Amino acid sequence: MEMFVQSPLNAKNKRVEALFRTLFMLMTLLLVLPVLIILGMLIIKGSPVISIDFLFTNPTDGMTAGGIFPALLGTVWLVTVALLVSVPLGIAAAIYLSEYAAENWFTRTINLAIINLAGVPSIVHALFGVGAFVIFFGFGTSILSASLTLAIMTLPVVIVSTRESLQAVPEAFREACWNMGATRWQTIRRVVLPNAVSGILTGVILEVSRTTGETAPIMFTGAVFFLPFLPQGIFDQTMAMSLHLFVVATQVPNVPEALPYGVALVLIAMVLLMNSASIAFRMYLRGKKKW
């Protein structure tokens, strides 16, 4: 005779648990499946044009042949300058809001502005970039104007992710430092930020993904249809992968069918490569945590 017999309630709970586990698994598969289909389609249709020459030569024959090197280099320019601007500003703003600012109407207004900024359409950011950076500050249509526009657009992501990471650091860490006589800034610099850096990288990863694929903000502020020379500095115009993909897919006649898919495949590969490097670094930092 069994000592323990499963009750009807326990049996019902197990069935419900199995049902929801299966449901959540199917929902996860539904999210992953479109990504796999897209990647598979890009690989099948775009891989025939992928080669060393495709990556490191200029477009030719009215952009119907040749490579994508100017667009590839221009995208690196745009993402790098945008990161150099938005990451320090975003981290500084998050430190103020998390560690210094009191809970009052002013900080609530700032938080509301950050939330609203995250919801502004990219085309509106493009118009703001034209008015602020191209015209008002006189940077012209350049890498700097386009990168600053991208930085403003992605700033809320960095602020929110950094703030959440800072607040996730246990308060006991701060109190221990204060009891040892450390100032607030010393505590932030030597204890809070090192323990929050892995979470901060999450925001950086999201920013890289978005800035690499944006088209509207750079179309009006610094990216061009075609450029016969490589940019030499931040005040030059540049080609970009996202705009190049739009152009060859919709604006250029007689483009080989595999060409737009090849450009899209390289663009996706760029994002995956940069994100993979950031994720690997984040995992390394998380492994060094003591809590």
pLDDT at 285 over 80: no
pLDDT at 1 over 60: no
Chain-centre distance of CA 137, in angstroms?
26
What pLDDT was estimated at residue 82?
A: 94
User: What is the H or E stretch that residue 60 is in?
Assistant: strand 59-60
pLDDT at 150 over 90: yes
User: What number is the average pLDDT over the span 233-256?
Assistant: 90
* pLDDT per position as a tens digit, 70-83: 999 999 999 999 99
CA atoms within 13 A on the CB side of 264: 18
Of the pLDDT bands very low, low, confident and very high (cuts 50, 70, 90), residue 8 is: confident
What pLDDT was estimated at residue 291?
A: 58
Question: Within 10 A of 142 (CB to CB), how many other CB atoms are there?
Answer: 20
* pLDDT per position as a tens digit, 217-239: 999 999 888 888 888 889 999 99
Instruction: Kindly give the residue spans of alpha helices, DSSP state H, lying in 169-250.
Output: 171-179, 184-187, 193-213, 216-221, 241-250
What pLDDT was estimated at residue 128?
A: 93
More confident: 130 or 179:
130
* pLDDT per position as a tens digit, 182-216: 888 889 888 888 888 888 888 888 888 888 888 88
User: What number is the average pLDDT over the span 96-115?
Assistant: 87
Per-chain mean pLDDT for the chain = 88
Residues of 8-45 as b/e, b for ≥16 C-beta within 10 angstroms? eeeeeeeeeeeeeeeeeeeeeeeeeeeeeeeeeebeeb
pLDDT at 106 over 90: no
Of the pLDDT bands very low, low, confident and very high (cuts 50, 70, 90), residue 124 is: very high
Quickly list DSSP for 125-181: HHHHHIIIIIIIS---SSHHHHHHHHHHHHHHHHHHHHHHHHHHS-HHHHHHHHHTT
Domains located in the chain, CATH noted: 65-166+198-286 (1.10.3720.10)
User: What number is the average pLDDT over the span 159-164?
Assistant: 90
What pLDDT was estimated at residue 4?
A: 64
Residues 68 and 55 sit within 8 Å (Cβ to Cβ): yes
256 phi, psi to nearest 5 deg: -55, 140
Of the pLDDT bands very low, low, confident and very high (cuts 50, 70, 90), residue 271 is: confident
What pLDDT was estimated at residue 277?
A: 81
What pLDDT was estimated at residue 290?
A: 59
User: What is the H or E stretch that residue 65 is in?
Assistant: strand 65-66
